[in-house]
Amino acid sequence: MSTARKRCMIQGGCTSWEFDPEVHMCRNCSIQYKQVADAVRKYVKAPVLRGGLVVTKPIQSPFYLGLQEGDKIDILDILPDNTSIIVRTPDDIVGYFNLDCVATEEEIVQNFQQEEEKRQEEEERRAKEAQRQAEEQYEQQLRERMKLKAIEDKERRLREAEQRRIEHEQRMAQVQTCIWVVCGRGEGGSVDVCVRVSVRLCACVCASVSEQERLAREDHEKRVAEAREMKRIWDLQQEQYEREKKLANQPQWKRDLIERKQQHRS
């Protein structure tokens, strides 16, 4: 045991020099904390019960040694409460400490590995949850866009149909007006002339109506083609999502290998 004088080991404000080197306490603290002093005298020469432990958490109390995280200690005794322990430091200071605040190096490494595994599992869980939410959000946005486009297409078709109806009524009114004008020209007018004019005008109207119907059919075919293309893109994106989900937990080299094989087959 070292005979050099040291500061009183009682933590919490005492800065006096030790009075009794055996207990490493000043006169006042050896009286005020008699329980600690008696325990030190009892165990100062006690053999080691468990050696090579490491402090994992400091304790702020004058009844416990002022050890810091990472300090090495040996356990001399475990008290009946199975929590309080008597420890010795490398510089032969003896005192109280808590069993829950020390561990072996193996236990520290094992606890670190377990915490790291839990952290990785939590990160993977959060990543999967974020991916799921992103997929749901994308699908919802795509459905909303498709729904909005369907509404816009329906409104546009209604407007176009109404416009065609108005144009048809206007043409029929023009035909009727022309017939009245031609047939009401006085003596120069005749039934044959009225018939020929009516036939030509009706033919023009029918041609215009046919053109409108053709344009309507082409527009319908275009909308059908757009819908099929959107469905094709949707299916491709869904297939891509499914592939990514299946490969999410695989290492990068295996993902690359599977992707190359799938591309080769396709």
Query: Which tens digits make up the pLDDT trace of 80-135?
Result: 998 999 999 998 899 999 999 999 988 888 888 888 899 889 989 998 898 888 88
CA distance 190 to 210: 30
- Lookup result for tokens 């009286």: 31
- How many Å is the Cα radius of gyration of the chain? 47
Q: How many Å is the maximal CA-CA distance in the chain?
A: 149
Residue 146 and residue 253 in one domain: yes
Q: Examine residue 81 and state whether it is found in any structural domain, yes or no.
A: yes
Whether the Cβ atoms of residue 65 and residue 97 lie closer than 8 Å to each other:
yes
Long-range contacts of 151-156 (CB under 8 A, 24+ apart): 153/223
In this predicted structure, the answer to whether residue 207 has a pLDDT above a threshold of 90 is: no
Q: Examine residue 1 and state whether it is found in any structural domain, yes or no.
A: no
| Token pair of 90 as six digits | 């490398």
Whether the Cβ atoms of residue 71 and residue 84 lie closer than 8 Å to each other:
no
Q: How many domains does the chain have?
A: 2
Average pLDDT score over the chain:
81
| Token pair of 256 as six digits | 């690359």
Residue 149 and residue 194 in one domain: yes
Enclosing domain of residue 79: 27-104
Whether the Cβ atoms of residue 86 and residue 95 lie closer than 8 Å to each other:
yes
Residue 141 and residue 99 in one domain: no
Residues 6+ apart with CB under 8 A from 191: 183
Pairwise pLDDT comparison (132 vs 217), residue with the higher score: 132
Residue 142 and residue 216 in one domain: yes
What are the backbone angles phi and psi of residue 17, rounded to the nearest 5°? -80, 150
Residue 98 and residue 150 in one domain: no
Residue 163 and residue 253 in one domain: yes
Whether the Cβ atoms of residue 43 and residue 87 lie closer than 8 Å to each other:
no
Residue 160 and residue 255 in one domain: yes
Q: Examine residue 254 and state whether it is found in any structural domain, yes or no.
A: yes
At residue 185, the pLDDT reads 55
Please choose, from the candidates 62, 71, 59, the residue with its C-alpha nearest in 3D space to the C-alpha of residue 37.
62
Q: Which of the four pLDDT bands, split at 50, 70 and 90, describes residue 178?
A: low
Q: Which of the four pLDDT bands, split at 50, 70 and 90, describes residue 5?
A: low
The amino acid that residue 142 corresponds to is L
At residue 75, the pLDDT reads 95
Burial zone of 33 (CB within 10 Å; 0-12 exposed, 13-18 middle, 19+ buried): buried
